[in-house]
A = this chain, B = another copy of it.
Amino acid sequence: MAKNKGELTYIEDDSKRKTTCKKRKASLVKKMNELTTLCGIEACAIIYDPNESQPEVWPSHPEVQRLISKLMEMPEMEQKKYMFNHESFLSKNLNKARDQLKRVRDENKRMEMELFMFQCLNVGCIINTSNTVDTNYLLFVINQTIKDIQWKESRHQRQHGTVVVAASTEEPLNEEVANVHEMEQANMGAMQLQDWSSDSTNDGGNMMLPFGDNSNFSSGFWPSPSFP
């Protein structure tokens, strides 16, 4: 504590406490970011600040959920293993249970990825992919979504023009990804990008989405969308 020389007691003054809290929360989050980035470890934090309407989590809600799950799962899994080893009559159901578990896991993973994808799109970037999400699966989900978009969009080409979004790797493993390029060729339309950043006045009104107060979106989540 600068200028306070180690006085580690509750700050009675409301204003001072609030200010300090805000500053220190920011610093703490920065420190967590540094720790996880520099050392490549996983960490999360939950902070309940009465000054905020909602608890603050770091680095993101899905990641916190994942780490919490990881924490909660540890003792349970050992317990299960123990039980399976000792209750022989359960062993005949083992394969069945495993399949079930796998299905549930896949479903959870899918939901997590879809939620994550939503958040990425909402914020505009991939959020803290280091050590947090299965990027391969995320890409699978994105490709699936893109495929849906393309399929549905193709029914409206004549009305609205065409937009193509494509995902690729060096060696696309599935048909969907491969077809992306074909569609990209086929759908080359007559559209041009305008300079969106100019001060043109003919677009602002159309840009507004009728969601009223946009403040929800200004308090996004962490890490930053890093808009250029």
Bound: A58/B225 CA distance, A:
21
**Residues A115-171 near B (CB distance < 8 A):** 115-126, 128-142, 144-146, 148-149, 152-153, 155-156, 159-171
Interface size class of A (residues with CB under 8 A): 35 or more
**Residues A184-223 near B (CB distance < 8 A):** 184, 188-197, 199, 203-212, 214, 216-223
Contact of A207 among B1, B109, B156, B219 (CB under 8 A): B109
A168 near B196 with CB under 8 A, answer: no
Known: A29-B89, A207-B134, A208-B104. A162 touches B169 (CB 8 A): yes
**Residues A26-75 near B (CB distance < 8 A):** 26-35, 37-50, 52-61, 64-74
- Please give the count of copies of this chain that the complex contains: 2
Known: A42-B48, A129-B156. A142 touches B170 (CB 8 A): no
**Does residue A21 face the partner (Cβ distance < 8 Å to B)?**
yes
Contact of A129 among B66, B160, B216 (CB under 8 A): B160
